[in-house]
Amino acid sequence: MIEELAELVGHHPLFDGLPADVAALVAGCARNAAFGPGELVLAEGGVADAFYLLRRGRVTLEVHAPGRGPLVIETLGPGSVLGMSWLFPPYRWSFDARTLEPVGAISVDAACLRDKAEADPAFGYELMKRLGAVLLGRLEATRIRLLDLYGHDRPD
């Protein structure tokens, strides 16, 4: 079971190229998870006690605005990491996350993985480098979207 999970973990882009024993370390905190369409996976303000390595299906990150309903901030697809607030106190979700379709994922217990990262600084640093790259990619994408690139053309 752990071996199967370790293989799935090692195939996810977040842990691509991770040595098998390190993937097994992560898999020790992981389990398979499945969600139906329209399910709320994360709720804003809720305890960030796990994160998800998406394998199938798409999930929207949303924020609820009074009078406007749920506003979609971003859509995450297969290969994405769902949930970052488990990394930093106070470990509360910043946004809602809802499935758009059936979703298959690996759920990783946050406290379990944080403990392993604290206990093994080399592993912890590797983990932070990989998660940092994901965060940097999202920050850059958000900045580019702020430019409203498609809304402006060269005037003739």
Partner 1 sequence: MIAPTEDAGRAVADGAATGTGAFTPAPYRVVERRVETDGVVSVALVPDSGEPVAWRPGQFNMLTVFGVGEVAISMSGVPGEGRLWHTVRDVGAVSHALCGTGVGDVVGVRGAYGTAWGVEELDGVDVVVVAGGIGLAPLRGAISLLARRPSGRGRLCVALGARSPDQVIFAEDLEIWRELGAEVELTVDAAAPGWTGSVGLVTAVLPQLSFDAGRAVALVCGPEIMMRIVARALVDRGVAADAIRVSLERNMQCGVGLCGHCQLGPLLICRDGPVRAYGEIAHLLGERER
Interacting residue ranges for partner 1, rule: CB under 8 A: 13, 58, 60, 68-75, 77-79, 100, 140-141, 144-145, 147-156
User: 56, 34 in Cβ contact below 8 A?
Assistant: no
- Pick between residue 74 and residue 109 the one whose CB is nearest to partner 1: 74
Closest contact distance (angstroms) between CB of 113 and partner 1 is: 23
Sign of CA pseudo-dihedral 124, 125, 128, 130: negative
User: What is the C-alpha to C-alpha distance for residues 129 and 123, in angstroms, rounded to an integer?
Assistant: 10
Closest contact distance (angstroms) between CB of 17 and partner 1 is: 14
Phi-psi region of 89 (alpha: psi -120 to 50; beta: other; left: phi over 0): beta
- Pick between residue 57 and residue 123 the one whose CB is nearest to partner 1: 57
Phi-psi region of 83 (alpha: psi -120 to 50; beta: other; left: phi over 0): left
Closest contact distance (angstroms) between CB of 148 and partner 1 is: 7
Q: Find tokens 């999202």 and name the residue.
A: 138
Closest contact distance (angstroms) between CB of 70 and partner 1 is: 6
- Pick between residue 31 and residue 145 the one whose CB is nearest to partner 1: 145
- Pick between residue 53 and residue 113 the one whose CB is nearest to partner 1: 53
